[in-house]
Every structure is written in structure tokens, then in C-alpha cells.
């Protein structure tokens, strides 16, 4: 039984993917193809890695069309999906219909144990499903609107993965993502050295202190632990004799500095996901920052009902620098 696997081409280049394009129309230099869409047949009787060729360009976003409701019997496919998440940070599955809360949690368990630290809305279909909406009677409102962030920065070990499913799609209400390693790698040297000295103090729970820049526990690449709406203050040179906690004015200035890196160059680093019915996203939460666009809270009377389900997977690694701290 064959099923289609599709890649959706988007306009402009985008850093979340860096796979050379293998599709028709690619130039010898690997420049983006002109194809509007690409189809690939998946035959589960064949070795999965011979089929899950990472077809894409800097202008193509993964959108793998499998039926998520029937993948347990295809262990190599699940393994390949996990490898793709580690490599590409953000995978989008199209046309999945409406996935039940129980099934959403089951898919989450491919990556680890779901961890639920959020308010349980009465309309949530499962205790481990966080239900958000633009209508407070349908889900929690204003979620993700306090600033760019990763999920779970208030914990000793932030969430490792986040899985999103849109069950009611409004006419407008995108989620915006940014690749954190790219943000760090493009910092001017002087700014990078400053950020390496910074740690964040969460304003939730016991206020754990995490380095702003640290090593991703799997890829070892530099990423950010941050939440621009849930940070009490920053600490310079944490754990040393030179340790100093920022005052409110300096904290706000650092928030603005980090925010600028997410939006600069006309938002060139952002991927803005416009949701469609049946979309299902698997995100490496530690490698991709995100924010809910302002349109997510437009009234139901204006854009229709927006309902998003999210499952988060527990983390096991407190943010740690796995490299010598650079000196000026």
C-alpha cells in the first residue's frame, strides 16, 4: 500500500531546512526549484531510508503525509521521523484530519513521556493535552503572546519536544518559529561574548537559573534557553565572584535586544505557519523558538474559532554549556 508524501514549497529561503534540493528543476548550484509541490510514494515494504529521502531546498518546508493514526506497526518510519526532527527541528504533517486527544498523546510518547504543567481547560480532550483558543469557553486564551520563547524554561529541564495539532482553523491565526542555532551563530562576536555571560531567572516556580546560551543535549549545537514573557531577571557571570543580577531597566533592555534578533532583517529568520485543517507539527522545542502571532487572539466573530492542541514531552537535561566558555 503506497501513500503520498508531499513537500510544500514556500516563498524565499528559510533556515529551518538546509537539505540540498533533489527535485526536478534544481540548478546545479542547488538553488531552489520552481516546482510548486513534490510528491513521493512511500512503500512500506522497502527500507524506509531509501524512501524518506530529504527532498527539499532552503525554500521548502517538510510536510510528510502519512496517516499518523496507523504508524505503530512501521517502527522504521517512526525512527526516521525522530531522526528528521533532530536534523530539521520542525516537521509538518498535512491532511491528518482531526486527531483525538488520546491519539495525540500516544504520538507524543514516540519521543518520551508527556509532561503536563499547564491549566487543564474543561474542554481539553485529555489531561495531557493543552487546549488553547481565541474563545475562553473553548480553551485557554492569550497563550504564547507574551514574547518569543521555548516551552518549559521555568523547569529545571525544559520540555524536549512539542507536538501541535489545529482542530479548529480560523481564517487567520499563525504560529511563528525561529531557528535558535542560526540566531546564535549569526551574532557579532562582541554580542555573542556578552550573551555567553548571561543566565535567565524564570519568574515561575522556584525561579531556576539557566544559561541563555547552552548546548543542545542531542546535537550539541548552541541554542537559547529563554522566555521574553516569563523571565524575572538575568544574571551576569552566574556562579562566579563577579555574579550580578540585572535591575528592571537592564532586564527590559536585554529582552528588547533578544527580541530584535528574532525579528531583524524584515523577519528573515522567521517561519510563519498559516494553519490548515488537519495540520500536525512536531517541533524540537530546544532548537526552535516560537511565538503566537497577534492574529491568534482576534475574536471568534471576526476570524472564526481557533482551537489548538499541544502536547509537551518532558526534558531530561538541564541547560548546560558543553564547551569552554569563550573569553574576550
Same-domain check for residues 107 and 237: yes
Q: Identify the domain boundary among 42, 69, 94.
A: 94
CATH number, domain containing residue 156: 3.60.130.10
- Residue 170, CA distances (Å) to 140, 162, 259, 274, 304 in order: 16, 21, 27, 10, 5
CA–CA gap between residue 149 and residue 228 (Å, rounded): 6
Using an 8 Å Cβ cutoff, are 198 and 159 in contact? no
Check whether residue 141 and residue 274 sit in a common domain: yes
pLDDT above 70: residue 257? yes
Give yes or no: residues 20 and 126 share one domain: no
Query: Do 22 and 74 fall into the same domain?
Result: yes
- Do 66 and 105 fall into the same domain? no
Q: Provide mean pLDDT across the span 144-173.
A: 96
Provide the pLDDT for residue 190.
96
278 with 191, same domain: the answer is yes
Give residue 255's domain range.
96-328
Residue 102 and residue 83 share a domain: no
Judge if 215 and 241 occupy the same domain.
yes
pLDDT category at 166 given cuts 50, 70, 90 is very high
* 100 and 79 within one domain: no
Share of the chain above pLDDT 70, in %: 77
3-state helix, strand, coil in the chain (%, to 5): 20, 25, 50
Q: Which residues contact 83 (CB under 8 A, 6 or more apart)?
A: none
Q: Are residues 43 and 187 in the same domain?
A: no
Cβ-Cβ contacts under 8 Å for 90 (sequence gap 6 or more): 16, 61, 62, 177, 271, 281, 282, 283, 284, 288
pLDDT the model gives residue 289: 96
94, 113, 137 - which closes a domain: 94
pLDDT of residue 328: 67
pTM assigned to the model: 0.79
**One domain for residues 124 and 265:** yes
Question: Is the separation of the CB atoms in 235 and 201 below 8 Å?
Answer: yes
**Least confident segment among 38-42, 280-284, 292-296:** 38-42
pLDDT tens digits along 47-106: 333 333 332 222 233 334 345 555 555 677 788 888 888 888 988 888 888 899 999 999
Instruction: Round to whole Å and give the CA distance between 282 and 242.
Output: 40
For 40, phi then psi, to 5°, come to -140, 135
Q: How far apart are CA 140 and CA 94, in angstroms?
A: 25
Q: What percent of the chain has pLDDT over 90?
A: 63
pLDDT at 73: 57
Residue that finishes a domain, picked among 46, 63, 94: 94
| 228 shares a domain with 312 | yes
Count of structural domains within the chain: 2
Amino acid at each position: 500500500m503506497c501513500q503520498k508524501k508531499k513537500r510544500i514549497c514556500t516563498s524565499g529561503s528559510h533556515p529551518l531546512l538546509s537539505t540540498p534540493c533533489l527535485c526536478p528543476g534544481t540548478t546545479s548550484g542547488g538553488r531552489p526549484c520552481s516546482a510548486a509541490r513534490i510528491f513521493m510514494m512511500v512503500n512500506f515494504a522497502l527500507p524506509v531510508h531509501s524512501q524518506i529521502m530529504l527532498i527539499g531546498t532552503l525554500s521548502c518546508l517538510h510536510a510528510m503525509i502519512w496517516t499518523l493514526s496507523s504508524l505503530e506497526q512501521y517502527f522504521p518510519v517512526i525512527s526516521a521521523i525522530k531522526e528528521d526532527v533532530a536534523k530539521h527541528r520542525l516537521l509538518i504533517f498535512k491532511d491528518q484530519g482531526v486527531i483525538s486527544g488520546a491519539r495525540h498523546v500516544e504520538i507524543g510518547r514516540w519521543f518520551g513521556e508527556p509532561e503536563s504543567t499547564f491549566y487543564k481547560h474543561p474542554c481539553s480532550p485529555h489531561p495531557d493535552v493543552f487546549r488553547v483558543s481565541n474563545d475562553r469557553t473553548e480553551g485557554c486564551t492569550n497563550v504564547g503572546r507574551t514574547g518569543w520563547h521555548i516551552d518549559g524554561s521555568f523547569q529545571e529541564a525544559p520540555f524536549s519536544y512539542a507536538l501541535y495539532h489545529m482542530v479548529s482553523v480560523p481564517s487567520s491565526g499563525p504560529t511563528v518559529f525561529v531557528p535558535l542555532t542560526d540566531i546564535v551563530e549569526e551574532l557579532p562576536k562582541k554580542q555573542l561574548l556578552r550573551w555567553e555571560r548571561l543566565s535567565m531567572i524564570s519568574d515561575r516556580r522556584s525561579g531556576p537559573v539557566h544559561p541563555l546560551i547552552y548546548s543542545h543535549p542531542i546535537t550539541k549545537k548552541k541554542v537559547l534557553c529563554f522566555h521574553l514573557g516569563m523571565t524575572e531577571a538575568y544574571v551576569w557571570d552566574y556562579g562566579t565572584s563577579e555574579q550580578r543580577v540585572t535591575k528592571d531597566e537592564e532586564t527590559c533592555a536585554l529582552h528588547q535586544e533578544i527580541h530584535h534578533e528574532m525579528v531583524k532583517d524584515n523577519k528573515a529568520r522567521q517561519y510563519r505557519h498559516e494553519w490548515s485543517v488537519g495540520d500536525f507539527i512536531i517541533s524540537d522545542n530546544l532548537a526552535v523558538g516560537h511565538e503566537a502571532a497577534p492574529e491568534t487572539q482576534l475574536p471568534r466573530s471576526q476570524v472564526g474559532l481557533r482551537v489548538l492542541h499541544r502536547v509537551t514531552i518532558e526534558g531530561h537535561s538541564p541547560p548546560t554549556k558543553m564547551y569552554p566558555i569563550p573569553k574576550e
